[in-house]
Amino acid sequence: MSQTAIVMTPHRHRFYEDLLAIPLGSLMVSIGVVLFAKATVLTGGAAGLALLLQFAAGWNFSVLFFVINLPFYWLALRRMGLPFTLRTIAAVALISVFVWATPLWLRIESVAPLYAAIAGGVAMGLGLLALARHRTAIGGVNILALYLQERHGIRAGWVQLGIDAMIFAAALFLLPLDKVALSLVGTVVINAILAMNHKPGRYMAVS
């Protein structure tokens, strides 16, 4: 008995689908960042670096996050193309605005650090998942890792892991050990959501 293979053709996102997904995903990420910042919890990547500098020097996260990403847009343009770069710029700008504006809309007096690490990780993970499925990034670290892999043959995963390790190593000198441990919990939650749901062939639509 012969079996016929079913070939699924990827569905291309419509413009309005990207237009809706980017602000929704950015809003979810910003909620996670606000919870992390309130509980003094870190994550990796550009957002983690911006949080680390905020904790260390009291600088504004939104400004830091936007500025940190500026040098990487040229790499994004070369590596991923103009549409990806424009979507990424939009997401970074929206996250910066949402994180700045959220305290005007939602006042959080206190939050349990463990809850912030888990709930913030879930919010960021779901937001990143929504953005990734619409070929949008939020940070230059991943773009840099992909560029170094393509240009110099250095594996992207190791580059990203190395940068995140340096961020957490620096956090050991600034934060209590329990906050560093909770930061690792939040980062594990984020990556678990992405690992379980963002797999090749699982989601067929493309932007």
Q: Print pLDDT tens along the chain (207 aa).
A: 444 444 455 566 676 677 889 999 999 999 999 999 999 999 999 999 999 999 999 999 999 999 999 988 888 888 788 998 999 999 999 999 999 999 999 889 899 999 999 999 999 999 988 988 888 888 788 778 767 766 777 776 677 778 888 999 999 999 999 999 999 999 999 988 887 876 555 554 556
Residue 13, pLDDT score:
66
Domain annotation covers residue 206: no
Integer Cα distance of 187 and 33 in angstroms? 12
In the DSSP assignment, the letter for residue 72 is G
Domain annotation covers residue 132: yes
Domain annotation covers residue 163: yes
Domain annotation covers residue 201: no
Integer Cα distance of 104 and 106 in angstroms? 6
Instruction: State the sign of the Cα–Cα–Cα–Cα dihedral 14, 15, 20, 24.
Output: positive
Q: Which of 33, 190, 197 is closest to 121 using CA atoms?
A: 190
Integer Cα distance of 109 and 44 in angstroms? 25
Per the CB < 8 A criterion, the answer to whether 141 and 45 are in contact is yes
Residue 204, pLDDT score:
47
The CA-atom distances, in angstroms, between 200 and each of 11, 114, 204 are 14, 32, 8
Domain annotation covers residue 2: no
- Residue 179 CB-density burial (10 A; 0-12 exposed, 13-18 middle, 19+ buried): middle
- Residue 186 CB-density burial (10 A; 0-12 exposed, 13-18 middle, 19+ buried): buried
Domain count, the chain: 1
Residue 16, pLDDT score:
61
List, in sequence order, every residue forming a beta bridge with 206; answer none if it has no partner. Answer: 12
Domain annotation covers residue 5: no
The domain containing residue 114 runs over which residues?
A: 15-195
Residue 6, pLDDT score:
45
Q: How far is CA 34 from the centre of its chain?
A: 13
The residues, any chain, with a CB within 8 Å of residue 159's CB and separated by 6 or more, are 144, 145, 148, 149
The CA-atom distances, in angstroms, between 143 and each of 15, 65, 77, 79, 132 are 23, 15, 10, 8, 13
Q: Residue 161: what residue type?
A: L
Domain annotation covers residue 31: yes
Domain annotation covers residue 207: no
